[in-house]
Amino acid sequence: MQMRLIFLMLGFATWLPFGSFADQDLQARFEKSVKDAKSIPNVELDWLDTLWISDPAVLKNLNAKVFSRTVKYSYLASGPKYRATCELISGTQSNLMKFSETAFDGKWSVTYSANFRQMTKGRKSPAVTESESGQNPLIEPFTFLTRDTYDSPGPMLRFTDFAYMELTNRLDFQSEQVSDGVIEATMRGRLERKRPTKMKIFMDEAGDSFTPKMINFVDPEKRCEIVTRLLNYTNLGGYQFPTRIEATTSAYPPTSPPTLMLTDTVTVINARIPEQIPDSLFQLDSEEKSADSIWDRDLERFIDAAHEKAISNPIAINQTRTSIYDESADGTKQVGDALDIAKREHKHVLLQFGANWCSWCHKLHNLFQTDNSIAKELKSDYVVVLIDVDKGHNRETNTKYGNPTRFGLPAIVVLDGDGKALITQDTGKLEEGDHHSPEKVIRFLKEWAPKT
């Protein structure tokens, strides 16, 4: 009887769901990689990121036949402190962000945009900024993680988060299988617009670190599939990460032949562990001195340094003291109310997307109010609506009109009385030196006014 029971137990074991041991192995590999990352005291990494866009709809919105850009990203970190730099190397358009930096010294987080000479400061580290790549090779193997939980759409992970966060909770693997020495694991991904997503991760069965070879992600709402290949792994202090990343975004559901929307290639050009990093490198003191405006995210206003700098410029003083965007307003309702007026009065609607911290938004608004010709044209032919997009506010309105904020702030969209988008205007093309050209602005307004 005892021998029979042993055989029954052995027989039952052969029918256990496959993957229970693989699950434990992947979890152990994940925890080892997190531990290895935590053990690195300092890190310096530089890489090139080249993006090509081939999606006709996106190219149309960009008003371009072709689009590509190459930027150099630099990342310096020590414990929770970091400095990230983005520098444009080449691009098919002239209005791209040329240089930006973000630094966190353990107390203050500062972001500086050289294009607009704008700075923002706050005591909390913000979500990933334009200075940082969404494909930092150090954390690309963990692209499914955020700084919060699976059930909270928190900001994307930074490598510095390993220094002080507990990231060894069990991974949520929903299914696993092994074929030809490769593990295919399906797991929960980041929340997208508060909706759960799934990812497939492919990894060599052999190995003791968490080193995905490919990550497959489907976003049904955006109707796209992203396939990311992580290649040429190396290590710093035992922590393994890819030195080349090849990502493709295609239409979903798949078409035949596949419809390629964009490709993105990342190549590491420098990686090392510095012995020491001066604290001064995690501050942007020289950039602060050259900034035209400094926005305090905590107080939600321009700070005193901007007032002092603006003392000789009445327009700049006005920029630092007023809030022109209603940060509590519902963009959908704002547009709806404006369309009611526009249809009744045979006008067009001019949407100005921006934020109160944006000095160029204040400059454009001031021009609208103080230039008599422009003010007269606006009053005669337009209903002007200021849409606040700070911190993701009115994201749905921005998306509905083709993501005009991709050009930077402020961004303009003109609608006819029926709500049809007629033109999306990159206001950088209306600039002249350190201001908007009244001649360019009035020419634009007359061109898109209602035809009589």
- Alpha carbon dihedral 359, 364, 366, 368, in 10-degree steps, equals -170
Tens digit of each residue's pLDDT (9 = 90 or more) over 172-217:
777 889 999 999 999 877 666 566 678 899 999 999 999 999 999 8
Q: For residue range 51-92, what is the model confidence (pLDDT) as tens digits?
A: 999 888 778 766 778 889 999 999 999 988 999 999 999 998
CATH 2.50.20 fits 20-280, yes or no: yes
- At 190 the pLDDT is 67
pLDDT tops 60 at residue 13: no
Residues 6+ apart with CB under 8 A from 17: none
pLDDT at 301: 67
Confidence of residue 4 (pLDDT cuts 50, 70, 90): very low
Q: What is the pTM of this model?
A: 0.66
How do beta strands 411-415 and 348-354 pair?
antiparallel
Under the banding of pLDDT at 50, 70 and 90, the label for residue 169 is: low
Instruction: Give the integer Cα–Cα distance in Å for 435 and 365.
Output: 11
Give the confidence band of 164 by pLDDT, cuts at 50, 70, 90. Answer: low
Tell me which of 295 and 13 has the higher pLDDT: 295
**394-429 confidence digits (pLDDT tens):** 989 988 998 888 777 899 999 999 999 999 998 888
pLDDT confidence of residue 359: 81
Q: Is 38 exposed, middle or buried (0-12, 13-18, 19+ CB in 10 A)?
A: middle
Mapping DSSP onto H, E and C, the string for 100-124 reads: EEEEECCCCEEEEECCCCEEEEECC
pLDDT band, very low/low/confident/very high, at 228 (cuts 50, 70, 90): very high
Question: Which homologous superfamily does the CATH classification assign to the domain defined by 331-447?
Answer: Glutaredoxin (3.40.30.10)
Averaged pLDDT score across all residues of the chain = 82
- C-alpha torsion sign, points 339, 342, 346, 349: negative
| Residue 412: per-residue pLDDT | 96
For 275-328, write each residue's pLDDT tens digit. 999 999 999 988 888 887 787 777 766 664 444 444 334 444 344 446 899 999
**CA dist., res. 243 & res. 46, Å (int):** 10
Question: What pLDDT score was predicted for residue 8?
Answer: 35
Domain segments of the chain as ranges:
20-280, 292-321, 331-447
Q: Which residue has the tokens 């000479």?
A: 117
**Number of alpha carbons in the 13 Å side-chain half-sphere of residue 443:** 9
pLDDT per residue over 94-140, tens digit each?
767 789 999 999 888 999 888 777 888 888 766 667 788 878 999 99
pLDDT in tens, 15-44: 333 333 444 588 889 889 989 998 999 999
